Amino acid sequence: MAKKKVKVVKINPEECTGCLACEAICSAFHATPKYSSVNPAKSRIHVYWDPLRNIYMPVYSGPHVEAECLGRDKYVIGGKEYDECLFCRAVACPSRDLFKDPDSGLPLRCDMCEDEPPLEEPMCVQVCLVDALTYEEREEEVEEEEEKLDELEMGLEALIEKYGFDKVTDTLARISISKQG
């Protein structure tokens, strides 16, 4: 069994004030060059905000999806029911504009602020002064095969982010045909 470090951001929506500092810093940290611009539309965290119902809900971008899902989740918070897609983490879902780069249309997935040298905490956690976001690291035992698959998935996601989903899948299809030939 191999050990894998798992990074976790805990979200406590009750503490969130809706200041949106997390969205701003995420977009600035991922700008090219770093910190050259602030554009919350390019953030990998989105704070759903409904002042009438008095709720702020930070949502992190998660897995990439190609197609809108067929099922729906219902959320009931404090006795109030929320629309199905509001808190979904799916990246680049065709049914909405969330977590898509507004310029390129490429998916924007949270990478936990991977950097060299590594940060002590992700940027959004650092700027959240009320502890609505807190950071934890823990070690989990994983099968070696699972660890290799994780690495493969991360590598493919980085390529998709850089070149776009269609280009990566076209290239894989081309390689597969040439290997068979």
Minimal distance in Å, beta carbon 113 to ligand SF4?
4
Question: Helix, strand or coil for residue 102?
Answer: coil
Interacting stretch for ligand SF4, rule CB under 6 A, among 17-25, 67-75, 141-149, 169-177? 17-25
Of 43-51, 94-102, 142-150, 163-171, the window that binds ligand SF4 (rule: CB under 6 A) is 43-51
Tell which positions 58-77 bind ligand SF4, by CB under 6 A: 58, 60
Please list, residue by residue across 18-34, b when 16 or more beta carbons sit within 10 angstroms of its beta carbon and e when fewer do.
Answer: bebbbbbbbbbbbeeee
Nearer of residues 128 and 173 to ligand SF4, judged by Cβ: 128
Least Å from the CB of residue 76 to ligand SF4: 21
Q: Which is nearer to ligand SF4, 2 or 35 (CB)?
A: 35
**Binder among 21, 38, 65, 168 for ligand SF4 (CB under 6 A):** 21
User: Could you give the dihedral angle defined by the CA atoms of residues 106, 107, 109 and 114, in that order, rounded to the nearest 10 degrees?
Assistant: -20
Considering the rule CB under 6 A, would residue 22 count as an interface residue with ligand SF4?
Answer: yes
- Any idea which residue has 């994780």 for tokens? 150
Positions in 105-164 near ligand SF4 (CB under 6 A): 110-113, 122-124, 127-128, 130, 132-133
Q: Which two tokens stand for residue 24?
A: 């701003």
- In the list 1, 2, 14, 17, the residue contacting ligand SF4 (rule: CB under 6 A) is 17
DSSP 120: S
Q: How far is the CB of 23 from ligand SF4 (least distance, A)?
A: 7
Classify the C-alpha dihedral 48-31-39-132 as positive or negative.
Answer: positive
Q: Which of 102, 123, 103, 127 is nearest to 111 (CA)?
A: 123
In sequence order, which ranges of the chain are alpha helices (DSSP H)? Answer: 21-29, 123-127, 144-163, 165-180
Residue 99 within binding range of ligand SF4, rule CB under 6 A: no
Using CB under 6 A as the binding rule, whether residue 91 contacts ligand SF4 is answered as no
